[in-house]
A and B are shown apart, each in its own frame.
Chain A
Amino acid sequence: MLLLITAVVTHLPWFQLGNTLTHTDWIVWPDETARSLVFTWTAWVPFMNFGESNIQMSFALIATLWSAIIGAGLNFDTAVKLTFFIPIAVFGFVSPYLFFRKLAPGDGVAFLVAIFYGATTPFLVRQTAHLPIAFVYSVAPLLLLLLENALRRRSFGAWLAFAAAYIVGVCYELRIMFIMTFVLAAYAAYFHGKSLYKQRRPLAVGIALIIALSLFFLLPVAFGGFSAEISHFAKRGLFGEQFLDLAHAFALSEPFWTGGLPDRDFVVQPIHWYLWLIPLVCFSALLLPKRTANKHGLFFAAVALVGILLTKQSSVPFPSFFAWLYENFPGFSLFRDGSKFFILIALGYAGLLHSLFTSLAQGRATVRKRVVFGATAMVVLAVAGMNVLPLVTGEIGTLFVPRRMPTDYRVMREAIGGQEEYFRTAWVPRSSPWAFFSADHPKFDVAEAPWTGWRLFSGSDPTLSPERIMAPLERSYSDALLDASAVKYVVVPLRDAANDNDFFRDYGGHSDTAIRDWYVSRLQALPYLRSADLGTKEVAVFENDKARSYVAALDSVLAFASSENLEQKYAFATEALGAGFDFLIADDAKDVPAPVVDMLFENVSDRDLSSRGYEAGGETGELSTTLHEKHGERFFSYQLGGGALRVYAGRPGQLRQAAVPLASAAPRVVFETAVGDGDYVASLGTRIIPLAPAATPREIGSAALPLKIERVSPVNVIPNPGFESGLWSKSVGDCNAYDDQPVLRMALSDRVSAGERALELSATRHIACTGTTMPVAAGRRYRLEFDYQSDNAPQAGYYLEFPGSSAAPLQGRLPVSDTEWRRFSRAVDVPADASTALITVYSYADDGGKKEVVTRYDSFSLRELTPVASVPATTTDDSFVPLPFSAFATAGSGVIFTFGDPAEPSGNLIPNPSFEDGLWAETVGDCNRYDSHGDVDMLRTEGGSHGRYVLELGATKHIACTGPTLLPVRENSRYLFSFAYQSPNGLAAGYNLGFNDPDATVIQERLPIGDSNWHLLNRQILVPAGATSVSLTVYSYDEGGGRRIVTRYDNFSLSLLPDLFDRYYLVSRSAEPARLPSEVAFETLDPTRTLVRVRGAGAPFYLSLAEAYHDGWQLRFATADGPFSWLPWAKRERIGDERHFALDGFLNGWYVDPAAVCADERCAANPDGTYDLTFVAEFAPQRWFILGLAISTTVFIGSSVWVAGAFVRRRLKKKKRSSSSGHA
């Protein structure tokens, strides 16, 4: 009773049935959704995102309980209280009490142990968000008790009780039960090892019962094709090694336990001093004299030490042990981190405490014994009291504070739940715990897009930055994507600080307090969305009014060779073919007739470069093949000469087929003017392109910005621009005076780009700088130019400011990749309130402070630009034009195209690409310096794919990284980037390309490595507007466990590509065009079955189902079912798997050809020659669930009846015996 009171007092809100408890992952299920779970918790979970196969089938038991409780007139809050909150609170204290009282009689001792067990910090932290784990934690001692009973009594009933409890535990949390299985087995072997053989029959019955009762989730997992999902889930790699160590494990101190609200920012908390008393007291049980030390103490000490060894994860000692188990021990890959093993320490310490107290309580009660017992008990009670104090005061927050649903979510619940048609709601950045969802109205968290069906549309940025989150909604095809995804509403939830639920902080809110407004404003700017009035006041709701039906017929699906460059392909499909968004990725294993769209030169690499130019192959179709060229209206060229300047739009054709040039549309003149003497430039934004006289048109490049033609003033406003009159200042400036020990120098140099002198700045410590002022005209435009050079600096730099003006200064760091002079040039718009400008240039010391870094500058120029003409970008749209295509290739065969003039391969921008001249840097970088214990290294070793040497990065702890100097690049240009990589023991290689554009664009990737072979990365890189340089970094990632992860790199290349990307498309058709049937109707039977009726199908068509693609989905004919047709192996007439494809890369699609499939009497033929077809779209693994459920239920009911019958028979026999003895 005292324990129950303790449970209630410490968990008071959990026993109040009228309140709602929610926090982070623990969401509030709508009552109506939870009520239907008995029917909807199936092998396919339809509620979130795009649905997924149910690898947690075992939760069906709890889902059924929720349904039953809500069906009985209660609500979801009560259902979770009865199935989670109250059992955890009660069993957390009662279950250890019952077990340890069973081990050795003594209420007081069992009480003390129970108080300790129920108040450990890992258990309390689990109670703040991860209730399934907390539940198994709470019932773990009860499982030991039931096993002890079963082993002692050897009765069928006892084994049934144990098996049922075990299965219930599995249904709540499989992973913790995996750990408990080993504890239970060890317990049985250690304490009952000798008698196990004698009771092999009841033991076998017990094991058979567990297996039989598990079949309802084992069968679909084993035979339903879920192994890939489970493997994917299990092989996510280790996580959080920096959070766990030996000290936290010993002290049984959860790393994020603060003594109040648990830390949510992954900051490891210091261990409270009093928690150290617990291991001291517990392990002192092993000091008991041998005669009193009992068997239990040794067993639980071993459990605790194993728990400590596993919980500390990759910390010393044995840092590799956890990683080894993760890789090699069956089932251990379910544990990404060691925190789940705290349960072993808690159980072990509880057993040791019990052993200690029992020994002290045994024998004669002396004063000294009482004192020791009392003092120890006080320590245990005091520590437990300190731990549960924040629960009583409410300081722990989280699930211990009742929450109130904001009115807006209540309004939304009614507005969305009241609509009958199927649709999804997309939540930006993610859904609120109060968000309504159901099987008919799933919710979709846009921030989760990279890990759901939208991974193709999310880009390569794996972070949770707001820009990345918004990206899939802001693409050219986003409107069509939302339609295909059946998204009707896009919702921005509240920053719900009142409920301590401001998750925006994880999605940009840390740095931007107005981040929610930012998301709303970005959505408001989307043309395909309109504000919707669902009655909410603060929750922003937008409507997409063209959401596709759950089941729909399509007449246009294109086959793409790859899933990359979808924006360009979408533009081509809509503009050139008049098609829609829907596509499939060509797959040899499938046979889905669809027009094949081949973007020529999409995956061009160095290997495609021959002496004739870049080569690309394509397939010709059996019915027709067409070639399309993007005319390139935004591609400009010019011709200056004869007193005239002409600007052309459009690209000259450079495509050949078998050496025969293919005629393409000629560039057209978009601007022509007479010009006099002087210099002219074309400018695109800040980029300046000097126009030189030429007899034939010369390239300017592609432009998304207006193209300006400007005349350059002959007057240079910079005084002493070539340092022929001396230096700009008397002494060198210190532009980074972080201490009083600068080592800087400035002089005139005779190494010049022009004239006889140049500026030479050198820095050994700090940054050397100098500058000069000049007059400028307010509001006018200028061209800034200067030369720079260095023998040993990785970069030069400049800073241009306008004294007295409020405008931001202009600055930049300029890559130095060789010892040649480079000319920097850019346009400068002088602010309206500026009259002078001050330019400063720098020489940067390196980090070590040991090397003198010398940077030279020369030939400065700041000249005014006078506008001559402007060609607005908006008037020059690109367009696709058919290219006359000689079909001398045989239909159905390959054809080769060649692009370019006789090959002039552009130079490799990366210096020392194969490390034949040494490493890129003297020291290795640490790119994840979260503490001072990094262990990274860098070598140059022999071997590799090219030349003699390779770069070898080693990471034992943290991330090793290195890179070359800054690389100069040209904005809006495409580069071919490639390198070779290899690792003998790592899971991934990785690179990062960081551009110096205003948005600081980053391109980064982790490249999975599954073997020890060399792999080649080949990427086309588009340099963002405004970028002039890029930094390259490559990595070796540590994987925990103290192993040195080796990642090798070789043969880097970054070279400019000619203008061939997104320019040519080959479209081949091999089947008759699809045509929509007259009508498609559907009826959802349950989440795994939908009845589809198609009428008037006279030609092939595509059928879409708005659930995530899975091989388990089948489209079968709704023919008459036999009595055993529900069995998983029953034969079903259906559309073949080769016609089932991933529509748009993530949804289910089938190609249905009525003429081919309507054999026998499966379809109804209409007089007009069309067919009516009736299908069932079915998720087949559900049949395994039904079969397993039937067996499990039968076994449970049969066993229960048998046990009840035995009980009654025993009672009757007893009664009869007592009555007959009474007679006697």
Chain B
Amino acid sequence: MLNPRDYIFTFRDAVALMRRCWAAVRGASLRDALGMIGLLAVGLALQIVFRLPADAIGLWLLAAAMLYWRLDGRYAIGVALVCLPAFPILSALESRKLSFNLVSAEQASIWAFFLLTIGLAALAVGRAPKLKRTKRSPSRSKR
């Protein structure tokens, strides 16, 4: 039977993500600590040197974090699928001069694009070790 949890990003997934984040902070290994320091440094560099806006810095950091900790790319894709339908909705609001200053329709589509790219990259990286293991276990493949 298809479990909806396997298919869409549910509330449980969100809770699991938060637990994982908390666990990551609480029981951070040296690698995790280095990763977080590195992220902080990258974020500061993007802000100070390249003067990137906050959302761009967030996306770059998200990409780095997902690849560093091998997070499930579906998280990013799930958020992207929220941003995608936001475009026509925000466009309609903007055309009626009801836009909110929080985010524009164009910005939503840009986020969707980046989140999809990040998610896809994370999924692709996530597949790589699996392939290697498969290659290195001839006995399994024989079976």
Contact = CB atoms under 8 A, between A and B. Distances in A.
Interface string B1-22: 1111011110000000000000
A372 B84 CA distance: 20
B127 A280 contact: no
A368 B88 contact: no
A1205 B21 CA distance: 66
Nearest to A368: B2
B80 interface: yes
A287 B87 contact: no
B46 interface: no
A990 B126 CA distance: 53
A689 interface: no
B7 A289 contact: yes
A273 B92 CA distance: 10
A368 B81 contact: no
Contacts of A271: 88
Contacts of A368: 1-2, 4
Contacts of B127: 295, 298
A302 B120 contact: yes
A392 to B, nearest CB: 26
A761 interface: no
Interface in B86-137: 87-88, 91, 105-106, 109-110, 112-114, 116-117, 119-120, 123-124, 126-127
A286 B123 contact: yes
Contacts, number: 88
A1194 to B, nearest CB: 44
Contacts of B87: 247, 250, 276
A250 B113 contact: yes
Contacts of B73: 286
A396 to B, nearest CB: 23
Contacts of A302: 120, 124
A286 B2 contact: no
Contact of B6 (A246, A289, A295): A289
Given A298-B120, A298-B123, A305-B120, A276 B84 contact: yes
Nearest to B117: A305
B1 A287 contact: no
Q: How large is the interface on A (under 10, 10 to 19, 20 to 34, 35 or more residues)?
A: 20 to 34
Interface string A803-832: 000000000000000000000000000000
Contacts of A1187: none
B113 A287 contact: no
Given A250-B112, A368-B1, A372-B2, A287 B81 contact: yes
Given A293-B123, A298-B120, A284 B81 contact: yes
A730 interface: no
B141 to A, nearest CB: 13
B1 A280 contact: no
B110 A246 contact: yes
B105 A247 contact: yes
B125 to A, nearest CB: 11
A247 B94 CA distance: 15
Nearest to B115: A283
Contact of A366 (B2, B77, B81, B88): B2
Nearest to B82: A280
Given A288-B7, A305-B117, A372-B2, A298 B124 contact: yes
A317 B2 CA distance: 37
Given A250-B109, A317-B113, A287 B8 contact: yes
Contacts of A596: none
Contacts of B81: 280, 283-284, 287
Q: How large is the interface on B (under 10, 10 to 19, 20 to 34, 35 or more residues)?
A: 35 or more
Main SS of the interface on chain B? helix
A607 interface: no
A317 B109 CA distance: 10
Contacts of A292: 6
Given A287-B77, A305-B120, A369 B88 contact: no
Given A298-B124, A305-B116, A364-B1, A273 B88 contact: yes
A301 interface: yes
A286 B120 contact: yes
Contacts of A295: 127
A366 B1 contact: yes
Contacts of B38: none
A368 B8 CA distance: 14
A279 interface: yes
Contact of A283 (B6, B84, B88, B124): B84
A308 interface: yes
Interface string A539-576: 00000000000000000000000000000000000000
Contacts of A280: 81, 84-85
A245 B104 CA distance: 14
A369 to B, nearest CB: 5
Contacts of A287: 7-9, 74, 77-78, 81
B1 A247 contact: no
A363 B6 CA distance: 14
B120 A317 contact: no
B140 to A, nearest CB: 16
A290 interface: yes
Contacts of B123: 286, 293, 298
A368 B74 CA distance: 22
Contacts of A284: 7-8, 81
A846 to B, nearest CB: 30
A247 B109 contact: yes
A796 B117 CA distance: 60
A301 B117 CA distance: 9
B109 A286 contact: no
B104 to A, nearest CB: 11
A288 B77 CA distance: 11
A1187 B93 CA distance: 63
Contacts of B105: 247
Nearest to A246: B109
Contacts of A283: 77, 80-81, 84, 116
A1195 interface: no
Contacts of B110: 246, 316-317
Contacts of B88: 271, 273, 276
B21 to A, nearest CB: 20
A502 B114 CA distance: 45
Interface string A368-385: 110010000000000000
A922 to B, nearest CB: 28
A1176 to B, nearest CB: 59
Contacts of B109: 246-247, 250
A290 B119 CA distance: 13
A276 B81 CA distance: 11
Nearest to A271: B88
Nearest 3 A-B pairs (CB), nearest first?
A: A289-B6, A246-B109, A286-B77
Interface of A: 245-247, 250, 271, 273, 276, 279-280, 283-284, 286-290, 292-293, 295, 298, 301-302, 305, 308-309, 316-317, 360, 363-364, 366, 368-369, 372
27 contacts: A245-B106, A246-B106, A246-B113, A247-B91, A250-B84, A271-B88, A273-B88, A276-B84, A276-B85, A280-B81, A283-B77, A283-B116, A284-B8, A286-B123, A287-B78, A289-B3, A289-B6, A289-B7, A290-B72, A293-B123, A298-B124, A298-B127, A317-B113, A317-B114, A363-B2, A369-B1, A372-B2
Given A289-B6, A293-B123, 20 more contacts: A247-B87, A279-B84, A280-B81, A283-B116, A284-B81, A286-B73, A286-B119, A286-B123, A287-B77, A287-B81, A288-B6, A289-B3, A290-B72, A290-B126, A298-B120, A298-B124, A305-B113, A305-B117, A305-B120, A372-B2
